[in-house]
Structure formats: structure tokens, C-alpha cells
Amino acid sequence: MTTYNTGNPVPSADARDRFDNSQTLDQLINSSADKVVTRTGKEIITIDGALRITSANAASAEASASDAKSAASVLSVKSDVAEGMASGLEFFSVPSIVGADRILTLYRNVSGVPVVVGTIPSPAAVNAILALLKQSYGIDLYELLDDNGFMWGTVHARGFDLPGLTVSETTKQGIELADRNGFVIMEDGVNGTSLGSMEWVQIAYPGIWVLDSNGFAWEIMGPDADSSTPISDLPSSIPYIAKEVCGVAGVPLTLHVASLLAERRDLDPTRITIAAALNPVVLSSDDAVTFAPDSLGDTALLYARPLRGDDSVRTVLDLVVRAAPNPPAGAAPTPKILLVGDSIGNHQGPLLLNQFMTQWGYAPTFVGTYPSSIAEDNGFNRLGAVAEARQGWSSAQFTYADPSRAPILPGNEAAYLAMTKPNMLGYNPFIRAAIESDPAQFVKNGYIVDAAFYQSRFSLETPTIVINALNTNDFRDQSPQTIYQTIYESDVLLHTRFAEAWPNAKIIRCMPGTARNTGAGTADRDAMWESFYIPAIRAMMDARAFLNNPNITIASSWAYYNQEAGYKLNAGTVDATTGARTTTISDVLHPQGSTRRQYYQYLSGHVACAAVNII
């Protein structure tokens, strides 16, 4: 039964009729009754009812098969055609294949001439065919026959086929109803339910909201339909990026909305707007905003406003915009870069930083002991420039709060540098044994980070720019309850010790983002974004504020590259007609291809600004 029963004719745009239709669809799919009554009074068979009819027809088909078997048993089987002809019978059968899967050939004696009138498979042959079907469908296939023996449907482990309708297993969670051409006409899954052009989705606010194709509500039903009480669970519109926006002249940047908000809500979007303070540039989107930093002037405002809620309220962040010259006037700036990071830095980090900066007229060099990789995938390639971007390392391993990476004893520097990359990963080049005069808050497990000692023992040049690109492996080792404090303490320790050794160096704090993905455990990067990445960003910002060092800046690299693409995929399934592949992400951590280059292009622009001292 339906709720409103308006009596309106079909078709109807009345929201009450749409509500009744959704009830009917729910009962059609989930009810255990045989039939359901629509809003117009028509009775239609439920899926449960169809399955019961299927079972009854299958039983009837089995009975018919039994009768057929009995009929076959009265046929006279002869050893060969000659014996059959000599028997004087009008009909007889002869084994045509010897063996367990033999087939009987049926003959008719027509005026002394044997005429083949058909073949009869043996039970073993039938079973062999059914076994092949079982391999394809998981269990025996049932054919649904009408009273005349014509098949009108099938039932198998993956679903069932009825005239004009297929219910089948899919790679996605939920149920799809498709026509015989494979076009989906109804889908019920984790993202909601759709029937033709109508969609039902779970929303974060009370009542039933009827939306047009542009997402505007034109009718609301429910307890708050006539209430002016504001809805309290609006997504947070706080933008988690630093105030600095750095790039190079003439090179556009793209700021991605899902990568700067705490909640990645596709069904509850937030619009951002970048407005120059004085220049005539105002750009808005609920997906991504692309702009040239030099078009904004020195200052701009970032507005964020949930599309649902009070239109008069928005969050605003003052931006400081810097655009490094492209190319610089005179001699090329020569920044000496120490990249401290993990596998994302090791995979082509120095290579891409160098490529972008050289293209813009800069001449960077790199400082470190650990050779980076120039290969897209092979992390143990060692043909790249040196850095300290170490696969699998967390910030706690650099500070020695996690003592799983051993110190290098004095005098063993040459032996360490001669090691293979896998062996080098087991040693921490930054630490030495603590002494009584060392600040106690920075001593971890009897050792302390000493950047000056690190530079001296390996005879390195003094870096002018230090990039801290850690965090990803801290998410592996920490919990939502500990991640903020871990990142905060590591940043204060590392940046203090770097600044003590190299007081004129610019320290750039950045962090890789992560793919849009749901799943179990650490595969659910959308959930981890809110519980791990956002607390880490807050910790980075709070640590910077605590140190109050103008040479420390934050490059909001996580927000300037697309998290939808550029990650390794599983094989998936390929549509035979279009070649399109339905698949999932196999590596949610490491950006590749164009996405990796977006990440390093933004970071290179920040480094260029530091190299010419405009930040």
C-alpha cells in the first residue's frame, strides 16, 4: 500500500506521487509478499514473488524432463543399423559414439531404408553440458518454460533473466536492473537508488528534498519543511591551506575544492571563490579553480560557502599571493635544495623540481646522501640527484622517536655511502649520540638530530632551501588520537634543528595528498582525509606559528593537484564494445604521471619564490 494515494493521472509531477512511487519500488525489491499495489491500484509482482514463480516453473520443468526420460526409455536400442533394420521395428536407435558420453541416433525404417530422424543425448552427455554451464554460472541453470515448452526466462547464481529484464551480479555494491541491451534502468547501491531519470540518495538533513537537475530544491517534505530553523550539520567550510599562494608568472595553478576542506562530500558541495583584492579577477567553482598567480596581485581573498544553508554566511581566508619571475632578470638563481621526505619524494622528486625550475630560468642543485630515483616506478633506481627522501620513512623515524633506523657510527660514513639503497634505508644520517648540553626535549632514545653534524660529517654544501615533505608514513604508524601531536612535535624538533644549523635557509613545509577512495582500513582515504590529514595540516600550521620563524613557510601542495586521477589501477573489467575499463585504485598513496607533475609543479613554484626571496 502507498501513503498518499492522490488519484492523480499518470504521469504526475506531484511530489506525493513520487514518494508513493519510491515506496512501491522499495516493496518491489524488498517485500516478501507476492505482489504489491501501486498508487494507481495496479498489482505488480515483487522480486520475491517472481522467484517463487520461477521455483514452481522449475519444478514443472523437472517433471517434464522426467516424463521425457521415461519416453526415451521405451525406444529400442540396437547395436548397429543392420540389427535395427532386421528387427522389423519402424523406429529404433543406435549408439553413435562409444563411451560414457555416447549419443543415440534415432532411425525410422521407411520401406527398407534407414532414415535418420534425430539424435538423443545420453544422461552422461547431458550432465557434461550441465557441468559446463555450472562452471559459467556457479550452479545448475534453470530454464523457465511456458505450457507449450517455450523458454521465457532463466535463473542462475548471478541472477535471473526475464522477458525484457535482466537482474545480474555486478562489480559494484548493490543491485542493478538492466534491459536486454545492457542499459541500466534501476540501480540500488551505496550511493543511492535510481530509476530512469529519478534518483534517491541519503541526505544529511531531515525530510524529503525534491531537487531539479541542477541540484536546486523545488519542494521539501518533512518535519522541517515549513521551519526556518537552520540545519546544524552543514559541512565545515574552513579552508585547510596556508595563506601563502606561490607560483611563477604566467603558469596557472589549480586549487581543488575536495583537497582543501575537512570533509570530502560529493553530495553536499561547497563553493569556493578566489577574488583579487584590487584586480578584476573573481573565480568560483565547487570543483576546482584555475588561476595565474600574477593575475591576482599581491593579495586576494578565498571564500568558501556550503551550497546548502544560509547564503549570507561564508568563511573567508586572506591570501598572500607571490609570483616568481619567469624567467628571472640577470643570472639564474642557484638554490641549494635539501629534500627531506619519503617514497613520494624519492620517486622523481629532484628530477621534476629541476625540470620545472630549469624551464623557468632557475639553476637548482641538490644536497643529501641518498640518491633519488629518476624512474616512474622503480624506487631503488639511484640515477637521480641526492636528497633525503627515503621510502617508508616517517617523521618519527627521522627524529629517532621511532628508533627503527640505526645511527651511523662516527667513521662509518664512507661505508654508508657505498651501500645499496635498500641497505642505506636502515640508517639515519641526521642523528648523533646526545650529550648533557643538548636540549632534553629534542633528545629521542638517547640520540638527537644535529643538522650541522650531518653536513660536516658528509662534507655537504650548506642548503639554502630545506623542503620537509613528510607525513604519509606517520599516518601508517599513528592513530587519529596521536597523529596531531606526533606531527607537531616532529615539526618543532626538525625545523628548530635545521634553523640552528642553517639560520639563513628557507624551510618549506609541504605534504602530499591522497587519492579519492573508499574501502576498508587504510584504503578508505576519504575517511582518513578527515581523521589523519586534516589534523596533520593543523599540526603543521600550529608548529609554524609556535616557532614564529619568518623563514618557515607552508606550501599547500595537497590542494593543488587532482586527487581523482594519476594513481595505479587494478586490471578491472573491459567493456567489449567501447574498451572502457571498470576498475579500482591499487595504490592510493603515490601520484603518478600528470598528477605527480602537478604536485611538483606547485612545489617548484614555491621554491622559486623562496629562491628570489619574495617569501
Question: What pLDDT is recorded for position 381?
Answer: 96
> What pLDDT, on the 0 to 100 scale, is given for residue 43?
80
Name the CATH superfamily for 325-611: SGNH hydrolase (3.40.50.1110)
Q: Predicted confidence band at 303 (pLDDT cuts at 50, 70, 90)?
A: very high
Give residue 234's pLDDT.
Answer: 74
Residue 229 confidence (pLDDT)? 38
DSSP 507: E
The answer on pLDDT for 314 being more than 80 is yes
Which residue from 390, 383, 400 is spatially nearest to 443, judged by alpha carbons?
Answer: 400
| Confidence grade of residue 202 (pLDDT, cut at 50, 70, 90) | low
Q: Are the C-beta atoms of 426 and 390 separated by less than 8 Å?
A: no
Rounded to whole angstroms, the Cα distance separating 374 from 368 reads 16
Max CA separation in the chain (angstroms): 120
Helix (H) or strand (E) holding 438: none
Report whether 321 contacts 296 (CB < 8 A).
yes
pLDDT band at 71 (very low <50, low <70, confident <90, very high): very low
Predicted pLDDT at 138: 46
- pLDDT at residue 498 tops 90: yes
Neighbours of 104 (CB within 10 A): 21
CA angle 210, 215, 217 (to 5 degrees): 40
C-alpha cell at 262: 575537512
Query: Is 371 in a helix, a strand, or coil?
Result: strand
Predicted local distance difference test score (pLDDT) of residue 480:
96
Quote helix, strand, coil % in the chain, to nearest 5. 30, 25, 45
Position 214 scores a pLDDT of 52
pLDDT at residue 92, as a whole number: 83
| Whether pLDDT at 74 is above 80 | no
- Rounded distance, CA 308 to CA 578, Å? 38
Helix (H/G/I), strand (E/B), else coil: 397: helix
Q: What is the mean pLDDT of residues 523-537?
A: 94
The predicted pLDDT at position 64 comes to 45
Average pLDDT score over the chain: 84
pLDDT tens digits for range 131-177: 554 554 444 456 777 766 666 677 765 667 776 666 666 666 667 76
pLDDT above 90 (res 420): yes
Nearest alpha-carbon partner for 305 in 275, 277, 269, 281: 269
Question: What predicted TM-score, i.e. pTM, was given to this entire model?
Answer: 0.66
pLDDT at residue 102 greater than cutoff 80: no
Predicted pLDDT at 552: 98
DSSP H helices, 149-253, are: none
Spatial contact of 470 and 342, defined as CB atoms under 8 Å apart: yes
Q: For residues 3 and 32, what is the distance between their CA atoms, to the nearest angstrom?
A: 19
* CA 228 from centre of chain: 37
The pLDDT score that the predictor gives to residue 132 is 54
